[in-house]
Amino acid sequence: MSVRPDPDLTIIVSLDAAHSMIALPIESSLSHAGGDHGVTGKDDALEEPHVYEEWGYAERAWYLEKRQGFIGVLRALLLPTEGVVEVGIHQSIWAERTQKPPVEAFRFQISKAGYLSLRSYLQSTIASEEPVGIVGNSRFCVARSPYHLFHHCHHYTAKGLREAGLPISMTGALTRNGFARQLRRI
C-alpha cells in the first residue's frame, strides 16, 4: 500500500504600507452543507474559499486605544508595550480591505504539517482567549510578547511563515521593504 503525500494548503500574507496579516482560507458556510452540490457533482464556485480567518499582531495603544501620531510611533517602536493578537473572520483578505498603499498579497502553498505548525504558533501567541477589544469581525486578545521595534507585525508574520516551513529571515522582516523582498523571493 502506498501513502499519498498530503495535499498542499494555501495561506495568504497581506502587506500594506505598515502592517501585515496572515489569512487562512476557510470554506464558505455553503460548503458545510455537506455532500454533492448538484447532480453533476461539486459546485465549482465552492472550490475557492469565500471566507478567511486572519491573524495579525499590533500594539494595543495604537490599534485599540487610537493613541497614534508621532508620539505613538515613538512609543510603539522604542518602548516595549502591550501587544495584541487580532483574529478576524472576513469575506476578503487584508490586502483588499486596507487603505494604506502600497498593498501586496502573497499566496503560499504549505504542507498539512506546516499548516498545523503555523496554527499551533498562532494560538501560542495569545496570552488569554478573553478579548480586550472587538472591532467589526475581529477580536483582539492580549499577546504573550510585548510590541517594539524588534518584535512587530512583520516579525510576527515572518515567524509564522517559518513555522509553516517557509525560508524567511527574521532580520529581513525589520522593515516593510525588506519583508516584501523576501516574500517576493519565496
Is the pLDDT at 6 greater than 90? The verdict is no
- pTM of structure: 0.83
The b-or-e profile of 90-120 (16+ CB within 10 A means b, else e) is beebbbebbeeeebebbebebeeebbebbbe
CA atoms of 6 and 39, how far apart (whole Å): 28
**Backbone phi, then psi, for 17, in 5-degree steps?**
-60, -30
pLDDT number for residue 131: 97
Rounded-to-10 torsion of CA 50, 8, 127, 28: 20
| Range 80-106 average pLDDT | 95
Q: How far is CA 176 from the centre of its chain?
A: 15
Is the pLDDT at 44 greater than 50? The verdict is no
- Cα-Cα-Cα-Cα dihedral sign, residues 90, 93, 96, 97: positive
